[in-house]
Amino acid sequence: MKFNNLFRFSVLFRFLLISSLLILLLLISSSVFGQDKPVVSDTLNYDSIITASKPLPPVDIQVKDEPGDAGGAINISWKPSPDEKNGKVKEYLILRSKSKSGPFKEAGNTTVGVTSYTDNKADIGVGFYYKVASLNFDKENGNYLWKSMGESEIYGPVKSTAQWFNVKRLNIFIGIIILCAAIIYFIFAAKSGKSFYIRKIAGIEEVENAVGRATEMGRAIYYIPGINDMDDVQTLASMTILGRVATFAAENDTRIDVPVSRSLVMVTAKEMVREAYSKVGRPDSFHEDQVRYITDDQFGYAAAIDGLFVREKPATIFMIGAFFAESLIIAETGNSIGAIQIAGTAMPAQLPFFVAACDYTLIGEELFAASAYLSREPKLLGSLKGQDFGKAVFLIAIIIGVILESFGIPFSKYFMAH
Amino acid sequence: MKREIPVAITFIVGTAYLIAYFIPHKPFNYFENWFNDWFAVIAAFAIWLGVLNLIKISTIKIFQKKPDWPYSVLIIISFVIIVFFGFYEGYKGLYAHPSYSFRDPGTSFDWLYVNVYTPLSATMFALLAFFVASASYRAFRARNFEATLLLLAAFFVMLGRVPVGDILTSWLPHQYQLSQWANWIMNVPNTAGQRAIMIGIALGLVSTSLRIILGLERSYLGND
């Protein structure tokens, strides 16, 4: 009985083994010898296909120099070929030549649905002729089985030239002129003694109290200026705020530590803090190690700051500047040690993290207003008033835009887009 | 002169940058690249200031046995090791056939980068998940009207972003299902708020830049 079972099992096993070997052999032979070859009938008449599938060329072609550039670009636009609806157009080809008689070479191509192309390889001052062709084809394994082309008439010659004004930025230019004029007007008005009402910003109002808290507790203040270099306006704004904060700290004889992640920021911050201590008559209270370089690496910097917070337990932390993913890592650690935290950044993605983890947050424009606000200098406060005027202009423009759009007048949309 | 020269340089470079934004013609179209190159060169030289500062402060801390001085020993050792292997592999690669860079896979520098630096960086980044959880817990406590609004918005967005949200509301027409609520919150109130912040930031940037270019704001030069 036992032997019979063993025998049956052995037969079954051999059957399975042989059949699987056979299947494997079949698979290998089909993959080696039976490569997928294009099944093309020898009797297929490609000429008849090409003739029947030839698409009509695109219409209303316009060729002109790209406006507002440094030269070297020509813009070609067209309306779709009537055959696009029939599915007879797969691509549009842009053909270019220096001579009207040709030869025309391919300058570029676009997919169906796209109706413009910018030729960025046009030499400045050289006249070029263009044709746009509708292309129909059939491909197999990346190779054309056949292709059929409907070419437009020849357009040109068109020369590319360098422009003296980028008309595409006209809207920005007008906006900047209005804003700058308003800021300069309010600065001069402030200089002439006119006083302005500036709304209170809680985060900035609290700076002095936060410094005072550190003094009372006998602990240090930490100032983190973000991880961008001095070429970022946020870092520049942060440096000016550091100057004010360091002055408050020096007046109270409280230590302020500034660990930085960029060498140039270190040099500037050191100068700012040293100056603050000198200004209040305490140059000896400043120590070189108060402003120190940590690392350029984002998470290395965050790890070092976290370590410093946990070991030294500062009473007050300022995080003002450009922050990225490290913002919450630093802010949550500061929160866990019970420090009062004032943050400020113009990085919209990091603002929610700071709002959640810090006591006060300078949101966007408040960061840029802070230095002027803290200085209380009339001319700087005047610039804040100019900024507010700009905001009012934007508000009015938005309201006008909404009304015009609601009545189907696309002027504002056109102005903003061009 | 200590003040006037930097202010003059700032004015010239700032104005040139502004003009170059609107005039694409030569030589204005080269300004951005020129200034960026200058900044890169200055920053490259300045890195030594940072490195020397790091070594100086760490060394002083070790010799004076200040609190937490063992961490400074670690900094010096790590610095020396990575610099040594960087230079060693760079030198070796320069005379090898074919030559290779110290950062190429298989070098000891690359080994340190992959097996020491990358895991350490990833660990710090991974901490973010826990910090997000603790910060969300605090932010979403319904203490007042605004916080309750935040909590509700977050509830609908989170539920609408996962399949279970639509399953729970599958009995409703498609446009009223939770995923559509989440999309509406993200596309309408959230985008409106973000754009308002962006407009404020843009105005603040222009105002600050103008103050700096005109020399009204010069406290960053250390001379208030």
Q: Please, what is the angle between helix B118-139 and helix B145-160, to 10°?
A: 130
Q: Confirm whether A253 is domain-assigned.
A: yes
Q: Confirm whether A13 is domain-assigned.
A: no
pLDDT for res A36: 42
3-state helix vs strand vs coil in chain A, percent to 5: 50, 20, 30
Q: Which residue of A has its CA nearest to B14?
A: A231
pLDDT for res A34: 44
Q: Is the pLDDT of residue A41 over 60?
A: no
**A/B interface, count of CB pairs below 8 Å:** 198
Distance of CA B85 to the CA centre of its chain: 28
Write the pLDDT tens digit of every residue in B167-201: 999 999 988 999 999 999 999 999 999 999 999 99
pLDDT bracket for residue A136 (50, 70, 90): confident
Question: A62 with A188, same domain?
Answer: no
A74 - beta bridge partners?
Answer: A65, A119
Question: A317 with A181, same domain?
Answer: no
- Is residue B7 within 8 Å of B210, Cβ to Cβ? no
Question: A62 with A111, same domain?
Answer: yes
Average pLDDT over residues A335-354: 94
pLDDT bracket for residue A138 (50, 70, 90): confident
B26 and A266 within 8 Å at the Cβ level: the answer is: no
Q: Confirm whether A408 is domain-assigned.
A: yes
Write the pLDDT tens digit of every residue in A47-65: 666 666 788 888 888 999 9
Lowest mean pLDDT among A74-83, A254-263, B126-135, B138-147: B138-147
Average pLDDT over residues A225-239: 92
Closest approach of chain B CAs to the CA of A365, in angstroms? 5
Q: Give me the percent of chain A exceeding a pLDDT of 90.
A: 41
Phi and psi (nearest 5°) for A226?
A: 85, -175
Average pLDDT over residues A82-102: 86
Question: A231 with A330, same domain?
Answer: yes
pLDDT bracket for residue A33 (50, 70, 90): very low
How do strand A291-293 and strand A128-140 relate by DSSP bridges? unpaired
Contact residues, chain B, for A309 at CB < 8 Å: none
Q: pTM above the 0.90 mark?
A: no
Q: Is the pLDDT of residue B39 over 90?
A: no
pLDDT for res A418: 59
A293 and B51 within 8 Å at the Cβ level: the answer is: yes
The helix/strand/coil state of A319 is strand
| Inter-CA distances, A390 with A406, B18, B199, Å | 24, 19, 10
pLDDT bracket for residue A1 (50, 70, 90): very low
Q: Which residue of B has its CA nearest to A237?
A: B208
Residue A208 structural domain: 202-376
Question: A285 with A398, same domain?
Answer: no
Q: Confirm whether A395 is domain-assigned.
A: yes
Average pLDDT over residues B214-224: 73
Q: Is the pLDDT of residue B25 over 70?
A: yes
Domain of A86: which CATH number? 2.60.40.10
Write the pLDDT tens digit of every residue in B64-81: 999 889 999 999 999 999
Question: A250 with A342, same domain?
Answer: yes
Q: Is the pLDDT of residue A38 over 50?
A: no
The domain total for chain A is 3
Contact residues, chain A, for B60 at CB < 8 Å: 289
The helix/strand/coil state of A119 is strand
pLDDT for res A13: 67
Average pLDDT, chain B: 90
Average pLDDT over residues A223-230: 94
A124 - beta bridge partners?
Answer: A160
Average pLDDT over residues B7-35: 89
pLDDT bracket for residue B221 (50, 70, 90): confident
Contact residues, chain A, for B200 at CB < 8 Å: 363-365, 391
pLDDT for res A382: 84
A266 and B131 within 8 Å at the Cβ level: the answer is: no
Q: Is the pLDDT of residue A24 over 60?
A: yes
pLDDT bracket for residue A227 (50, 70, 90): very high
Q: What single-letter DSSP state applies at residue A165?
A: S
Question: A358 with A275, same domain?
Answer: yes
Contact residues, chain A, for B211 at CB < 8 Å: 372, 380, 383
A275 and B223 within 8 Å at the Cβ level: the answer is: yes
pLDDT bracket for residue A190 (50, 70, 90): confident
Write the pLDDT tens digit of every residue in A363-393: 988 998 887 888 778 778 888 888 888 889 8
Question: A171 with A122, same domain?
Answer: no
Q: How many CB atoms lie within 10 A of CB A179?
A: 22
Between CA A401 and CA A403 the distance in angstroms is: 5
Q: Which long-range contacts (CB under 8 A, 24 or more apart) does A184-189 make?
A: A184/A386, A184/B210, A184/B214, A185/A386, A186/A382, A186/A383, A186/A385, A186/A386, A186/A389, A187/A379, A187/A382, A187/A383, A187/A386, A187/B216, A188/A382, A189/A382, A189/A385
pLDDT bracket for residue A5 (50, 70, 90): low
Q: Confirm whether A15 is domain-assigned.
A: no
pLDDT bracket for residue A241 (50, 70, 90): very high
Q: Confirm whether A1 is domain-assigned.
A: no
A133 - beta bridge partners?
Answer: A93, A151
pLDDT for res A211: 95
A369 and B204 within 8 Å at the Cβ level: the answer is: yes
Between CA A276 and CA B130 the distance in angstroms is: 38
- Residue A26, exposed/middle/buried by CB under 10 A (0-12, 13-18, 19+)? exposed
Average pLDDT over residues A199-224: 92
Residue scoring higher pLDDT (A83 or A331): A331
Q: Is the pLDDT of residue A40 over 50?
A: no
pLDDT bracket for residue B220 (50, 70, 90): confident
ipTM metric: 0.90
pLDDT for res A28: 60
Between CA A357 and CA A44 the distance in angstroms is: 73
Question: A276 with A174, same domain?
Answer: no
Edge-to-edge strand list for the sheet holding A59-65: A59-65, A74-79, A116-119
Domain of A256: which CATH number? 3.40.50
Question: A280 with A391, same domain?
Answer: no
User: What is the token pair recorded at B5?
Assistant: 């020269």
Q: What single-letter DSSP state applies at residue B116?
A: I
pLDDT bracket for residue A42 (50, 70, 90): very low
Question: A81 with A191, same domain?
Answer: no
pLDDT for res A229: 92
A291 - beta bridge partners?
Answer: A258
Average pLDDT over residues B120-143: 90
Average pLDDT over residues B52-57: 94
Q: Which of A243, A274, A329 sits opposite B224 (nearest CB)?
A: A243
B203 and A391 within 8 Å at the Cβ level: the answer is: yes
Q: Which residue of A has its CA nearest to B58?
A: A289
A356 and B121 within 8 Å at the Cβ level: the answer is: no
pLDDT for res A26: 58
pLDDT for res B11: 92
pLDDT bracket for residue A35 (50, 70, 90): very low
Q: Is the pLDDT of residue A246 over 80?
A: yes
Q: Confirm whether A29 is domain-assigned.
A: no
Question: A206 with A314, same domain?
Answer: yes
Average pLDDT over residues B34-48: 89
pLDDT for res A23: 67
Strands (E), A159-261: 221-226, 256-260
Residue scoring higher pLDDT (A312 or A53): A312
Closest approach of chain B CAs to the CA of A385, in angstroms? 10
Q: Give me the percent of chain B exceeding a pLDDT of 90.
A: 58
Average pLDDT over residues A154-161: 87
Average pLDDT over residues B8-29: 89
Q: What single-letter DSSP state applies at residue A129?
A: E
Q: Confirm whether A32 is domain-assigned.
A: no
